[in-house]
Amino acid sequence: MQKREILDFFTKNRSMSVGISILLIYLIAAIFAPLLSPHDPYEQNLDVRLSGPSREYPFGTDQFGRCVFSRILYGARISITIGIAAVLFGLIIGSGLGIIAGYRGGLTDLVLMRLMDVLMSIPALILALAVVAALGRSIPNMILAIGINALPLFARLSRSSVLSIRTMEYIEASEAIGTNSFNIIRYHVFKNCFSPLLIFSTLHTASAILMAAALSFLGLGVPPPTAEWGLMTAEARVYLRQAPYLVIFPSMVILVLVLGFNLIGDRLRDMLDPKLRF
């Protein structure tokens, strides 16, 4: 695709532009959180606890009088990090395993794919809960718990791409001229897997963010008092009637970020893989 075409695509494609704008806003919020937040996200001010949105506290205050807006800004760092890191974990290890399984075939393929079947036989959220329960509540453990779920999906996707091109003549030709397996995978196989993996990574980041929020909501994500959106919603549950905004703001922030990734993922799919178009 030419540079001009790519530029045209972004300018003419509204949903892609919206998705990217959302992502940029969140990234800016995450990076510049200390500059943008009007208060310290952990500072308690019991005099103003559970007060609604105001000029001083744009999204109101929580049960400890902490500024919800500041906490949401800081929360962007955690959610984006977990979402992207979990997908990268799945992408690198999962697609690596898938490529090896597909390229080597035989026993390697059988063993690796059966192991992936095991991971797929436990529902994602349950597996993540079990992993966090075993390893403890922390951001790296959450990344691992969510990333493990992505392993079989990426492995299967890359394996099927490899299988479809393994018998192609140009691979045979490369082998005939003595190119080693690593270079064949690097120059031919990986290029062919790239589009489906990119689409899937974007869409899966959306799911990873939702899952991280669900884990934190259940109290098995990051420990309090960390400013994390799912945890903030969970803590606000008790005050649902009294202060519904405490639930609404963090949840809406999750919704918009996930929406952004979904918008980008959907458009990438339309652009790179028209067969999969919904």
Partner 1 sequence: MRMKKYILKRLLWIVPLIFLVQTLLFLLLTVIPGDIAVLIATPNAPPETIEALREELGLERPLIVQYIDYVTSVFRGDLGKSFIFRLPVSEILVGRLINSLELVTVGMMIAVVAGIPLGVIAAIKRDSLYDRFICTGVLFGISVPLFFIELMTILIFGLYLGWFPVSQRGGPIWTVEGLRHIILPALCLASICLAMIVRLTRSSMLDVLSEDYILTARSKGLKERVVIVTHALKNALIPVVTVIGLQYGFLFGNTVVTEVIFDWPGIGRLTYESIIMRDFPLIRGAVLCIALVFIVINLLVDLIYLRLDPRIEYD
Q: Which residues bind partner 1 (CB under 8 A)?
A: 114-115, 117-119, 121-126, 129-131, 133-136, 206, 210, 213-214, 217-220, 230, 233-234, 237, 240-241, 244, 247-248, 251-252, 254-256, 258-259, 262-263, 266, 277-278
> 85: closest CA among 154, 147, 128?
147
Residue 247 CB, nearest approach to partner 1 (Å): 5
Cβ-based nearer residue to partner 1, 48 or 120: 120
Which residues are CB-contacts of 263 (< 8 A; sequence separation ≥ 6)?
15, 16, 18, 19, 22
Residue 275 CB, nearest approach to partner 1 (Å): 11
Rounded CA separation 45/137 (Å): 27
Cβ-based nearer residue to partner 1, 36 or 125: 125
Residue 157 CB, nearest approach to partner 1 (Å): 16
Cβ-based nearer residue to partner 1, 158 or 233: 233
Three-state secondary-structure class, residue 265? helix
Cβ-based nearer residue to partner 1, 219 or 225: 219
DSSP for 57-84?
Answer: STT-B-TT--BHHHHHHHHHHHHHHHHH
Residue 57 CB, nearest approach to partner 1 (Å): 21
* Contact status, residue 243 vs residue 236, Cβ threshold 8 Å: yes
Cβ-based nearer residue to partner 1, 88 or 130: 130
Phi, psi for residue 61 in degrees, rounded to 5? -125, 160
Rounded CA separation 37/51 (Å): 18
Cβ-based nearer residue to partner 1, 92 or 133: 133
Residue 119 CB, nearest approach to partner 1 (Å): 8
Residue 77 CB, nearest approach to partner 1 (Å): 18
> 206: closest CA among 75, 30, 19?
19
Rg (CA), the chain: 22
